[in-house]
């Protein structure tokens, strides 16, 4: 499988988070995180042109930890997210933070 080229998380104006990872050789990419109970439910990402995998969701307000799971065998930490942390179980995870309310574009322009 080709190497992972880039990952990204973007906070959208409606408060959702867009997750994306460039994994052109992957057959399956899942988003696994605290926002859905870790391994209790893996969220399948959708493949787009050029090998990018994407998923948009509302993890709820505050901080959430997550990782990508590629082809059910390889864990990827997103270095470009809102930081990474080493958890008590010794596993490094990515952080994403969502404000408590959706962003108002009119308020941002003021």
pLDDT band at 1 (very low <50, low <70, confident <90, very high): very low
Q: What are the boundaries of each domain within the chain?
A: 7-109
What's the pTM value of the predicted model, to 2 decimals?
0.82
To the nearest whole percent, how much of the chain has pLDDT over 90? 52
pLDDT of residue 77: 93
Could you tell me if 75 and 53 are in contact, meaning their C-beta atoms sit under 8 angstroms apart? no
Residue range 84-101, pLDDT digits in tens: 999 999 999 999 988 876
Distance CA 58, CA 89 (A): 26
pLDDT of residue 97: 87
Tell me: pLDDT of 21 over 90: yes
> May I ask the CATH class of domain 7-109?
mainly beta
Q: Which two tokens stand for residue 103?
A: 């962003």
Distance CA 23, CA 14 (A): 27
Measured CA to CA in angstroms, residue 84 lies from 13, 42, 61, 99 at distances of 23, 20, 18, 18
């Amino acid at each position: 499988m080709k190497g992972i080229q880039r990952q990204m998380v973007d906070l959208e104006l409606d408060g959702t988070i867009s997750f994306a990872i460039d994994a052109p050789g992957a057959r399956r990419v899942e988003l696994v995180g605290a926002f859905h109970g870790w391994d209790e439910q893996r969220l399948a990402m959708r493949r787009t042109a050029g090998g990018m995998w994407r998923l948009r969701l509302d993890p709820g307000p505050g901080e959430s930890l997550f990782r990508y799971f590629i082809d059910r065998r390889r864990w990827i930490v997103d270095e470009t997210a809102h930081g990474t942390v080493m958890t008590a179980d010794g596993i490094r995870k990515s952080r994403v933070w969502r404000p408590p309310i959706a962003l108002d574009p009119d308020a941002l322009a003021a």
